[in-house]
A and B are shown apart, each in its own frame.
Chain A
Amino acid sequence: MISLLRARLRQGRQTLDFPAGPVPLPERFRGRPVLDGSKCQEGCRACVAVCPTEAIRTDPLAIDLGACLFCAACEEACPTGAVSYTPDYRLATRVREDLVVSGAEAKLATALDDAMRSLLGRSLKLRQVSAGGCSGCEAELAALGNVVFDLGRFGIQFVASPRHADGIVITGPVTGHMELALRETYQAIPAPKIVIAVGACAISGGPFAGAASSGDGVPADIPVDLYVPGCPPHPLTLLDGLLRLTGRIRAGTR
């Protein structure tokens, strides 16, 4: 017991002071890309040619973060520096179209409406379903529960039963074999409920878009309330999205 306490004292508090404190992301972290279409050369499609998921287009230059794997192949291929990835981890949106980036402007997620926020703002229980996820997104969602990110302090918790949940977090391109289980889990959550699509696969199919045995993400008839892009999204991207959704981070405050 003494050695345990000694170890705890020596290791110290490891929890991030988020959202108030500094964000410990390195220079090379590939977050939000910033685009400048005016730098594009006539007829150049170098970025389009190398993108693994057809996430980027030219005329006008735009990246769909819902399909982007943040590999930055486009940035490397671009001869004029029209695309550059920044360490900005804030990426989550409420609307699918807002994931399409064409300049430097970010359309970040807004809070739930007042009625939903009064229900879920201080206590949000989520059920996670992996439907073809490779365990990358799942690992980062699980990491939210560790002592560094400590999701519980915001009143957000992953629960075992859909009956206990206020919403569902979906990862993976939604394989044919998981679609039924996903739908049944979704239906088992009592209304009102929210849906969060995490990662390129759940939003667009990601690297598996067009695969014969899976869909291109969350089926169109399941309404998504929050999109968190990435491959996989960094835990801070997830946390930022969840806190914006619950109104704990407000536009312009961070």
Chain B
Amino acid sequence: MKGGGEVGLLWAGNARAVEIDAVPRVPAAELADRCAELCASGGRLSALLVLPEAGASRTGARDLLAVIADDQRARLALARTEVRAGQSYTALSARLPQAQAFEREIFETTGLVPAGHPWLKPLRRHADLERLAGHLSTGPAHPFFQVDGHGIHEVAVGPVHAGIIEPGHFRFQCHGETVIHLEIQLGYQHRGAAELFLRSSAGRRLAIAESIAGDTAVAHGLAHCMAVEALADVEVTLGAQAARGIALELERLANHTGDLGALCSDVGYLPGASWFGRLRGDLLNLLLAWSGNRFGRGLVRPGGVRFGLAPAERSQLRDRLRRIERDLRETAELMLGTSSVVARFERTGTVTRQVAEDLGLVGPVARASGCDRDVRRDHPHGIYRFAHIPVATAETGDVMARVLVRWLEIQRSIAFVQEQLVEMEEDVGVRGLSPLLPRRVAIALVEGWRGEIAHVAVTAADGEIHGYSFVDPSFHNWFGLAIAMRENQISDFPLCNKSFNLSYAGHDL
């Protein structure tokens, strides 16, 4: 990202609070231009949200805040523009495809119309269609994209799927077995988490954050704690930082391992399905022994962590992890040495690097397409400022690449955890939180196992949090799955889907 032309932006950092009033306000067209320019030179749209209120005298006016991550320089660009409910503003999506879901979210929650949005249909709130339709001048609110022509047929799946998984609706446009286009309509899991969060107690807020996506309880809990700590201007102890890093990597290990098992299952390789499945449980059980919950719920809390790790626990953890690593390696080598498995993984569900960049994909999915991005290195927080995990990337962008990236990340996370269990400081005491600073905005980025998690917290003049935004990595990546399916066969969908393994609840909130 170039250094020039930075007027109209405020630079912030991960897990730092800045004054809202210091964020420059620019005309809407200029905001769209600046975001497009920053993203054209390596930036990514991490968050886009409407702030709770603008200046007291401007009735009905609110601010649209954009957060662009500059991965090369470990900084976040903030800019805002004034918008009014019921009116339109220049859509970012017209030039920046990665803004499309954000602007649909804003449209359905505030009534603001992003003028020039290419596919403005509700993201999650089907029930509000009639109300939303009033804002549209271009026909029905949510047609499904349709392909016409001889021999074209449509396959509709969901919301209830044939397995123990979350609900969503998939609409395939096919010619024979070949998928021409897939449209994914989510929203079935929409619980109203963001709205409930704002009127909840501090304890309830943590529970909601941990339930944004239940398999990502540690990462979302951590992002929430980092946002609150930034607003309180509190830094947790070094021991607690290490403990949080260990917990985050254990969560990554369990989920990546489970994904490898599920991918084996989808190609009919049962030894891999059985053994990775068992090993995933063994990894969850490490979190269970430490925190009392298989998903690490309640371990990370504002100001620190609930439980430390005594020397005896650490050496026991190290031993158990060593045994798990041996079995993981054995199973991974068997899987990767089986030509029928590799043949199914290779050249299935390819996402090119250009598409990954355009859509703003994150996490292992982006890295598998050659995008060298990882919050742990690019916007380091806590222990990751002192201990580095090499970023794993691949080039081919297919299911195979997503398998390889996961397997590399498993090995590197194990090495990190083993090292931290030796090096970590004993003191994990919880720091008390002072009242939150007024009129601040804090952005917390965490590399969850699916990719970048962003929490944006905004305080009012009295220091209360009155604006909060959750961005699960799934929010960025669902569209990537739709694109990955093009020119593939319907029968490849389970495999492609598993290689992304996105959260429905994390997207739907």
Distance between B326 CB and nearest chain A CB, rounded to angstroms: 9
Report chain A residues within 8 Å CB of B200. 52
Cβ of A254 < 8 Å from any Cβ of B?
A: no
- Interface code A195-237, partner B: CB below 8 Å = 1, 0 otherwise? 0000001000011101111100000000000000001101000
- Interface code A127-166, partner B: CB below 8 Å = 1, 0 otherwise? 0111111111111111100111000000000101100000
Give chain B's interface residue range (CB within 8 Å of chain A).
35 or more
Q: A212-B196, A213-B190 are in contact. Are A207 and B204 (CB under 8 A)?
A: yes
Report chain A residues within 8 Å CB of B163. 128, 158, 160
Interface residues of B in 179-224 (CB under 8 A from A): 187-193, 195-196, 200-201, 203-204, 206-208, 211-215, 217
Q: How far is the CA of A201 from the CA of B337 in the complex (A)?
A: 43
Q: How far is the CA of A201 from the CA of B292 in the complex (A)?
A: 20
Report chain B residues within 8 Å CB of A208. 191-193, 196, 208, 211
Q: How far is the CA of A139 from the CA of B257 in the complex (A)?
A: 13
Query: Which of B290, B293, B503 has most chain A Cβ within 10 Å?
Result: B293
Cβ of B127 < 8 Å from any Cβ of A?
A: yes
Distance between A187 CB and nearest chain B CB, rounded to angstroms: 12
Q: Do the beta carbons of B188 and A181 come within 8 Å of each other?
A: yes
Cβ of B419 < 8 Å from any Cβ of A?
A: no
Q: A135-B505, A146-B278, A231-B297 are in contact. Are A72 and B206 (CB under 8 A)?
A: no
Q: Name which of A6-14, A33-41, A105-113, A114-122 contacts chain B.
A: A6-14
Cβ of A192 < 8 Å from any Cβ of B?
A: no
Q: Do the beta carbons of B191 and A132 come within 8 Å of each other?
A: yes
Report chain A residues within 8 Å CB of B75. none
The one of B162, B187, B211, B291 in contact with A28, judged by C-beta atoms closer than 8 angstroms, is B291
Report chain A residues within 8 Å CB of B334. 3-4, 7
The one of A52, A72, A181, A207 in contact with B167, judged by C-beta atoms closer than 8 angstroms, is A181
B209 and chain A: residue at smallest CB distance: A207
Q: Name which of B97-105, B240-248, B269-277, B351-359 contacts chain A.
A: B269-277
Q: How far is the CA of A135 from the CA of B501 in the complex (A)?
A: 12
- Total residues of chain A contacting the partner, CB 8 A: 64
Cβ of A177 < 8 Å from any Cβ of B?
A: yes
Cβ of B342 < 8 Å from any Cβ of A?
A: no
Report chain B residues within 8 Å CB of A92. none
Distance between A59 CB and nearest chain B CB, rounded to angstroms: 21
Q: Do the beta carbons of A53 and B204 come within 8 Å of each other?
A: yes
B331 and chain A: residue at smallest CB distance: A7
Distance between B238 CB and nearest chain A CB, rounded to angstroms: 23
Q: A177-B190, A212-B192, A212-B195 are in contact. Are A69 and B331 (CB under 8 A)?
A: no
Cβ of A44 < 8 Å from any Cβ of B?
A: no
Report chain A residues within 8 Å CB of B195. 211-213
Q: Do the beta carbons of A50 and B196 come within 8 Å of each other?
A: no
Cβ of B165 < 8 Å from any Cβ of A?
A: yes
Distance between B459 CB and nearest chain A CB, rounded to angstroms: 21
Q: A28-B292, A30-B292, A129-B160 are in contact. Are A4 and B271 (CB under 8 A)?
A: yes
Cβ of B155 < 8 Å from any Cβ of A?
A: no
The one of A8, A172, A213 in contact with B271, judged by C-beta atoms closer than 8 angstroms, is A8
Q: How far is the CA of A206 from the CA of B162 in the complex (A)?
A: 26
Q: How far is the CA of A167 from the CA of B297 in the complex (A)?
A: 30
Q: How far is the CA of A7 from the CA of B214 in the complex (A)?
A: 32
Q: A14-B278, A181-B159, A232-B214 are in contact. Are A140 and B165 (CB under 8 A)?
A: no
Q: Do the beta carbons of B164 and A158 come within 8 Å of each other?
A: yes
Cβ of A26 < 8 Å from any Cβ of B?
A: yes
Distance between B506 CB and nearest chain A CB, rounded to angstroms: 8
Distance between A206 CB and nearest chain B CB, rounded to angstroms: 8
Cβ of A81 < 8 Å from any Cβ of B?
A: no
Cβ of A175 < 8 Å from any Cβ of B?
A: yes
Q: Do the beta carbons of B207 and A71 come within 8 Å of each other?
A: yes
Report chain A residues within 8 Å CB of B127. 176-177, 213
Q: How far is the CA of A147 from the CA of B280 in the complex (A)?
A: 11
A214 and chain B: residue at smallest CB distance: B191
Cβ of B89 < 8 Å from any Cβ of A?
A: no
Interface residues of B in 365-415 (CB under 8 A from A): none
Report chain B residues within 8 Å CB of A231. 207, 211, 297
B503 and chain A: residue at smallest CB distance: A135
Q: A133-B214, A133-B505 are in contact. Are A51 and B203 (CB under 8 A)?
A: yes
Q: How far is the CA of A143 from the CA of B288 in the complex (A)?
A: 15
Cβ of A18 < 8 Å from any Cβ of B?
A: no
Cβ of A173 < 8 Å from any Cβ of B?
A: yes
Cβ of B289 < 8 Å from any Cβ of A?
A: yes
Q: A52-B203, A130-B165, A131-B167 are in contact. Are A28 and B307 (CB under 8 A)?
A: yes
Q: How far is the CA of A43 from the CA of B139 in the complex (A)?
A: 61
Distance between B498 CB and nearest chain A CB, rounded to angstroms: 13
Q: A129-B160, A140-B294, A176-B127 are in contact. Are A134 and B211 (CB under 8 A)?
A: yes
Cβ of B6 < 8 Å from any Cβ of A?
A: no
Q: How far is the CA of A133 from the CA of B188 in the complex (A)?
A: 10
Cβ of A95 < 8 Å from any Cβ of B?
A: no
Cβ of B319 < 8 Å from any Cβ of A?
A: no
Cβ of A73 < 8 Å from any Cβ of B?
A: yes
Distance between B91 CB and nearest chain A CB, rounded to angstroms: 25
Report chain A residues within 8 Å CB of B277. 143, 146-147
Interface residues of A in 63-89 (CB under 8 A from B): 69-73, 85
Q: How far is the CA of A168 from the CA of B195 in the complex (A)?
A: 30
Cβ of A58 < 8 Å from any Cβ of B?
A: no
A162 and chain B: residue at smallest CB distance: B160
Q: How far is the CA of A114 from the CA of B89 in the complex (A)?
A: 66
Cβ of B330 < 8 Å from any Cβ of A?
A: yes
Q: Do the beta carbons of A148 and B281 come within 8 Å of each other?
A: yes
Q: Do the beta carbons of B281 and A207 come within 8 Å of each other?
A: no
Q: How far is the CA of A131 from the CA of B274 in the complex (A)?
A: 28
Q: Do the beta carbons of A134 and B213 come within 8 Å of each other?
A: yes
A139 and chain B: residue at smallest CB distance: B215
Q: How far is the CA of A157 from the CA of B217 in the complex (A)?
A: 28
Cβ of A178 < 8 Å from any Cβ of B?
A: yes
B212 and chain A: residue at smallest CB distance: A134
Report chain B residues within 8 Å CB of A137. 214
Distance between A157 CB and nearest chain B CB, rounded to angstroms: 11
Cβ of B327 < 8 Å from any Cβ of A?
A: yes
Query: Which of A137, A177, A185 has most chain B Cβ within 10 Å?
Result: A177
Give me 29 A-to-B residue pairs in the complex whose CB atoms sit less than 8 angstroms apart, sorted by A's number. Answer: A4-B271, A28-B291, A28-B292, A53-B204, A71-B203, A72-B292, A72-B298, A73-B203, A128-B163, A129-B160, A131-B167, A133-B166, A134-B215, A135-B505, A140-B294, A142-B164, A147-B275, A160-B163, A175-B508, A177-B127, A177-B188, A206-B211, A208-B211, A213-B192, A214-B190, A214-B192, A231-B297, A232-B214, A234-B294
In the A-B complex, the 5 residue pairs with the closest CB atoms:
A136-B214, A160-B162, A134-B214, A213-B192, A28-B292
- For the complex with contacts A51-B203, A52-B203, 17 further pairs of A-B residues with Cβ separation under 8 Å are A7-B330, A11-B327, A11-B330, A26-B285, A28-B291, A71-B207, A128-B164, A130-B164, A136-B214, A138-B166, A138-B214, A148-B278, A175-B190, A177-B126, A178-B189, A208-B193, A211-B196
